Amino acid sequence: MRATHTLAIGIAILLAALAPNARAADPVKHGFLATGGETFIADEVGKVTWKYPHSSRDGWVLDSGNVLLALSKSKAYPGGAVVEVDKDGKVLFEFKGTQSEVNTVQTLGDGKVLLTEAGAKPRILEVNRDGKVTAEVPLQAQTKDHHLQTRMTRKLANGNYLVPQLLDRVVREYDAKGKVVWEVKTPHMPFTAIRLPDGNTLIGCTLGNLVIEVDKDAKEVWRVTNDDLPNKPINDACGVQRLANGNTVITSHHATAKQVKLLEVTREKKVVWTYTDDRRGGIHHFQILGANGKPDAKHPLR
């Protein structure tokens, strides 16, 4: 009887010791909007809750639940396009690109939308809901390869524009007249650039399979690469998002079926979440969503 009692106590102690570790090891799960060869929303367990039948470059789930997308060039949109659609796929707003590609979209408030056009005259446009161009900013980018001119351009709180320029291997900040007011050279082609609240800039470097963070003086203060991570999971670090907890989520655009498509790493470069599916294509860019499938105020930085 005494032996049985001692054994029971021992098991209880062991379970108590293991329980916190088990809870700590539970994976963080995220819902998200994915853009790329397939455009879809997945919930926190990976179930697809919405699809749109067009390839896309960039996109956002809006507070209304509608989805704002930069669409890839196609027969319907030879110069690419920006559309806002509802959850039934009805087009509520459309702006067709006039050059080679549209690679960026961002809602600006007051009904205005930002987009970039790649082509002989690379530029940022702001358009209103009537499709009227209300602002145009020329970009100082190479023109021999339109596809590798720019990607995830974002308008900043100061009214300037932060522009990753792939083939030029530089991220530039332009003012409203197109003057370069800040720039940083990058170790590989930059795809995403995010101005953080402290003034630093987070940059995803595509085929370099790395993400860097630089300060206001363009000095690198942090980086994560495949050399820091088990099994080298990064395969074309396109989209990037900085979460409120300081972690960074990264796409692997060239990942295929059964390979990691999204991963979340801590500041200490520990992987705390991954997303894998059976699709042959990877994810171009993404937006982390809250439990209700809508934008989460805690996760705005992308």
CA gap 29, 264 in Å, rounded: 10
Cβ-contact 273, 42 below 8 angstroms: no
Q: Read off the amino acid at residue 185.
A: K
pLDDT at 2 over 60: no
Note the helical H segments in the chain: 2-25
Q: What is the per-residue pLDDT across 140-194, written as a single tens digit (0 to 9) for each?
A: 999 999 999 999 999 999 999 999 999 999 999 999 999 999 999 999 999 999 9
* The token pair that represents 135 in the structure block: 């602002």
* The token pair that represents 292 in the structure block: 């209700």
Evaluated on CA atoms 194, 96, 112, 87, the torsion sign reads: negative
CA gap 70, 299 in Å, rounded: 20
CA gap 1, 163 in Å, rounded: 74
Residue 290, pLDDT score = 83
Query: Which of the four pLDDT bands, split at 50, 70 and 90, describes residue 14?
Result: very low
Query: Which of the four pLDDT bands, split at 50, 70 and 90, describes residue 7?
Result: very low
pLDDT at 297 over 80: no
Q: Domains in the chain and their CATH numbers?
A: 31-289 (2.120.10.30)
Residue 15, pLDDT score = 42
CA–CA distance from 238 to each of 42, 147, 198, 226, 286 (Å)?
19, 14, 23, 14, 10
Read off the pLDDT of each residue in 284-299 and give the average, rounded to a whole number: 82
Residue 300, pLDDT score = 67
Q: What is the per-residue pLDDT across 99-156, written as a single tens digit (0 to 9) for each?
A: 999 999 999 988 899 999 999 999 999 999 999 999 999 999 999 999 999 999 999 9
CA gap 54, 252 in Å, rounded: 20
Residue 28, pLDDT score = 65
CA gap 219, 214 in Å, rounded: 5
pTM: 0.89
Cβ-contact 152, 190 below 8 angstroms: no
Cβ-contact 139, 170 below 8 angstroms: no
Q: Read off the amino acid at residue 217.
A: D
pLDDT at 94 over 60: yes
CA gap 138, 99 in Å, rounded: 13
Q: Read off the amino acid at residue 86.
A: D
Could you give the maximum distance between any two Cα atoms of the chain, in Å?
A: 87
**Cβ count within 10 A of residue 88:** 6
Q: What is the per-residue pLDDT across 24-73, written as a single tens digit (0 to 9) for each?
A: 344 568 999 999 999 999 999 999 999 999 999 999 999 999 999 999 99
Alpha-carbon torsion angle 170, 172, 177, 181, nearest 10: -120
Q: What is the per-residue pLDDT across 247-257, written as a single tens digit (0 to 9) for each?
A: 999 999 999 99
Nearby residues of 146 by Cβ (< 8 Å), 6 or more positions away: 99, 100, 101, 118, 119, 120, 122
